[in-house]
Structure 1
Amino acid sequence: MRIDSPRQTSAAHAVALAAALACFAVPASAQPNMEKLKGMKVASTDLNIPLVPQTGANADAIKANLKRIKLPPGFQISLYAVVPDARHMAVAPSTNMLFVGTRKTTVWAVTNRNSGDAATEVKSFAPSLKFSNPNGVCWTKDGVLIVAEHNRVLSFPAAEFFYEGPDVAVGEILPQGKLIPPEEESFNHGARTCRIGPDGMLYITMGQPFNVPPRDKLDLYKQWGIGGIVRMNLDGSKREVYATGVRNSVGMDFNPKDGTLWFTDNQTDGMGDDIPAGEINRATKAGQFFGYPWKQGKTRITEFGYDKDPLPANIVDPQVYTIAHAADLGMVFYTGKSFPAKYQGGIFSAQHGSWNRTKPVGAQVLFTSLKPDGTADKTEVFAEGWLDDTGLYRGRPVDVAVAKDGSLLISDDFAGAIYRVTYTAP
């Protein structure tokens, strides 16, 4: 009798899942390679995928810039990987690797083959597919990688095992044009993020494309969850709008202790350097409204006369107010054990830095502790120095993720890098 290893069993389950996903109807406009891969067919001829160089002048310059970064005592930062345009990260469940989204056309597979202090290999994932703004990446509990693009959501069973070649098993949770109406596609605020909730459903943040949405768009956006968060089953069914009143969230995570969903929000431009405040929010149930476009932070929105309206009832105020126009993006609850007790169970969040300010701010990582009741306590700067004294951005943090060993990973789409923060008791 043959007994498969757990890894073989997992892979076999993933292949079966991919075959099931392939049965969904596909629009006639689907990419030819998508059709082949859904049918478990070969779509490529060259099995060699070029690697991103991890040494040389560029890597040395990034390492030199890290000497400017200030951290609390006992913490160290190093270059983990050179990853062009690195945005949101998804740490693989079973192997020492992660997948990294971008706002361009590539998802990166980052592998650490020797379990050392830095990645050993970076290459594009599923290059036989054509991605479009594949910013959002996340994992299901059984090892399926989800990629949330601007207007499509894909699934890749056992991606951490099948990533070596250009052709991978793939399914469409939502085909192209089904996440938002195609006529609402925009170059602005199109980067999605995703998470799997405690309920097993897929959650996706949906930024709205305007600086401030016109009144004639509000009903449509509420219907689709644009300017909010939607959730659905992993086959795309039972889609519903989970939260509304959000301008452009590009980061969220579930608190593993109580299952509440926390998310960042980006501020309205053109209102001055110091307003509106940035936000980190907490959703405790479906259907909550977070105030936009009538209110953001503590500020009433003046465009289209929203400040003249009475405030809608039942606005859920932010848990954390951050400095205006620092561009709060990715966030994660720290579930590791290698950092001091102070940080365990708290939130790390990345500030990208905004264009809409006369004096630049941001380009740092924050830490927020929680009270015993699960609400936010204090927020402080954890890592800073990517914005130098001359106002020059030497890096722009996008996302944070907890590695298997408890270290903290930070992505930077400006420098094209992922950093690793570790702790050694002083």
Structure 2
Amino acid sequence: MRRKRIVIGALGMALATSMALCGVSRSDTAGRRIGVAAFSDWRADDPGLWRKIAPQDLPRPLASEPKASRSEVVARPDGILPKTLAGFAIETFATGLNGPRVIRVAPNGDIFVTESPAGRVRVFRLSEGTIKPEASEIFAGDLERPYGLAFYPPGPDPQYLYVGTVSKVLRFPYKKGDLKATGPAEVVAALPGDGGHWTRDLAFSSDGKTLFVAVGSKTNVADGHARPSPAEIAELEAKNGVGAAFGPERDRADVLAFNPDGGDKRVFARGIRNCSGLRLRPKGEELWCVVNERDMLGDDLPPDYATRVKPDGFYGWPWYYIGANPDPRHAGARPDLADKVTIPDVLFQPHSAPLGIAFYESEQFPAEFKGDAFVALHGSWNRGTRTGYKVVRLKFKDGQPTGEYQDFLTGFVLDDAKVWGRPVDVAVAPDGSLLVSEDGNGTIWRVSYPAK
């Protein structure tokens, strides 16, 4: 049963807070699709359903014909809301945004979001004691598709807001409570910005000594690039590690590391095709990213993934995927790398396009959610039938990922051709609710518990 509640006012950009209970047929523990059964499409999505995919479950390359099938994004139909688990509530936190992407919560509780197509960073000030926006301001504008955000130094009193743009890491002066930048942007570091994947997410180590920057590949699988000679490989790997990116891909398909001032650039991890979401796990030094894997190997290959980013780790791109599985487009090219590939922690249905991750350490949700993570799946294009377009929950046990993930927020797909929402990022609000940005209709959704 679904009951509508009152729509509460508007602010600036129609910051609606229409709320609805979203009861669903599944309980928190009902329904599992393990192994090959986990490969499906949007019709099987249902809040509460668990999936688990392991490396041994993968089909052979080109078991199905690769297809380009982009979704048509339409306006949200009247009366339609996302679906979530029974007992949770869903409401709009903000509407009318221009391509909202990464969400970060400032130490004082202000909500920052990048509106990438509009080239700006927006900030919401919450009404005291509530999760309702009372103000909305443009913190900074005229930026080159801003994406990642990070406050520095980590802790209660940051001095800067760092912004990842396509070709640069910038920082603005910031003190707690600022709604607008009080000074011009300073260029911290230059990044490869000449085409290809453009998202640049950011994260700081807990001690603030290291800035991590995710840089996606320029091409699908180093398409058309001249393969390096043995001498070039030796030079590259001596500097940047085993499996280092080459040619036009240099410093791409990597997680880079810098000092906070942009000095001492180094490659922290390699072979990560497009790490669009980068987060430090709370209460530790585990760096995590969610990764868009390669295209054109079939509907069910290879899985996208979420993983711990291990120092000096190599994740296979472009030569291998999910362990020692060779990409047929590079078959036999680098046999020396086959036993050096780090296998990711959680495998998603291929072409789900994970973009954002957040760890849940708050108290509002039921106790079994604490220590788990949420991931936003933006949705497929290189697949015959839709997958993704939802938010899932990653299960952890004793601090370790189990490899299972659960449908948490679904309902954005209308049919095989049309969708009305594309989740991008997730963040835990000051009160413990979950904020979800989606750039199809320019909305930030809020999921809370219990429903009242």
Instruction: Flag whether TM exceeds 0.5 (same fold).
Output: yes
Q: CA deviation at 1:64?
A: 5.9
Match of 1:203 among 207, 212, 219: 212
Q: Distance in 1 between matches of 2:349 and 2:151?
A: 31
The amino acid that maps onto 1:91 is V
Asked if structure 1 preserves the Cα contact closer than 8 Å seen for 2:89 and 2:449, the reply is yes
Matches within 5 A, 1:47-58: 53-54=13-14
Change (3 A) 1:203 1:149: same
Change (3 A) 1:106 1:65: farther
Q: Which runs of 5+ in 1 are unaligned?
A: 1-50
Q: Distance in 2 between matches of 1:339 and 1:373?
A: 18
Matched, 1:147 2:147: no
Asked if structure 2 preserves the Cα contact closer than 8 Å seen for 1:191 and 1:207, the reply is yes
Matched, 1:405 2:421: no
The amino acid that maps onto 1:109 is V
Q: Distance in 2 between matches of 1:119 and 1:66?
A: 23
Aligned to 2:150: 138
Matches within 5 A, 1:102-117: 102-117=116-131
The amino acid that maps onto 1:84 is N
Aligned to 2:194: 185
Asked if structure 1 preserves the Cα contact closer than 8 Å seen for 2:216 and 2:254, the reply is yes
Q: Distance in 1 between matches of 2:125 and 2:203?
A: 22
| Percent identical residues | 29
Number of paired residues? Answer: 364
Aligned to 2:312: 287
Aligned to 2:188: 174
The amino acid that maps onto 1:79 is T
Asked if structure 2 preserves the Cα contact closer than 8 Å seen for 1:279 and 1:318, the reply is yes
Q: Distance in 2 between matches of 1:65 and 1:139?
A: 38
Q: Distance in 2 between matches of 1:268 and 1:66?
A: 36
The amino acid that maps onto 1:189 is H
Aligned to 1:388: 414
Aligned to 1:42: none
Q: Quick check: which one's strand share is greater?
A: 2
Matched, 1:71 2:87: no
User: TM-score when scaled to structure 2?
Assistant: 0.73
Q: Distance in 2 between matches of 1:276 and 1:189?
A: 18
Aligned to 2:300: 274
Aligned to 1:328: 354
Q: Distance in 1 between matches of 2:389 and 2:83?
A: 12
**What are the superposed Cα offsets for residues 176-224 of structure 1, whole Å, 9 maximum, x if unpaired?**
xx222xxx611x2011111111241111100011011135478584695
Q: SS of the residue aligned with 2:274?
A: coil
Q: SS of the residue aligned with 1:241?
A: strand
Aligned to 1:25: none
Asked if structure 2 preserves the Cα contact closer than 8 Å seen for 1:348 and 1:367, the reply is yes
Aligned to 1:367: 393
Asked if structure 1 preserves the Cα contact closer than 8 Å seen for 2:98 and 2:115, the reply is no
Q: CA deviation at 1:377?
A: 4.4
Q: CA deviation at 1:98?
A: 2.4
Aligned to 2:402: 376
Asked if structure 2 preserves the Cα contact closer than 8 Å seen for 1:331 and 1:348, the reply is yes
Matched, 1:265 2:280: no
Q: CA deviation at 1:266?
A: 0.5
CA RMSD of aligned residues (A): 2.9
Change (3 A) 1:234 1:292: same
**What are the superposed Cα offsets for residues 71-116 of structure 1, whole Å, 9 maximum, x if unpaired?**
1121111100122200011111114332334244122222324553
Aligned to 1:28: none
Q: Distance in 2 between matches of 1:279 and 1:69?
A: 23
Asked if structure 2 preserves the Cα contact closer than 8 Å seen for 1:87 and 1:103, the reply is no
Q: Distance in 2 between matches of 1:234 and 1:114?
A: 33
The amino acid that maps onto 2:414 is D
Q: Quick check: which one's helix share is greater?
A: 1
Asked if structure 1 preserves the Cα contact closer than 8 Å seen for 2:103 and 2:111, the reply is no
Q: Distance in 1 between matches of 2:412 and 2:90?
A: 12
Q: Distance in 1 between matches of 2:171 and 2:205?
A: 16
The amino acid that maps onto 2:217 is Q
Q: SS of the residue aligned with 1:169?
A: coil
User: TM-score when scaled to structure 1?
Assistant: 0.78
Change (3 A) 1:320 1:400: same
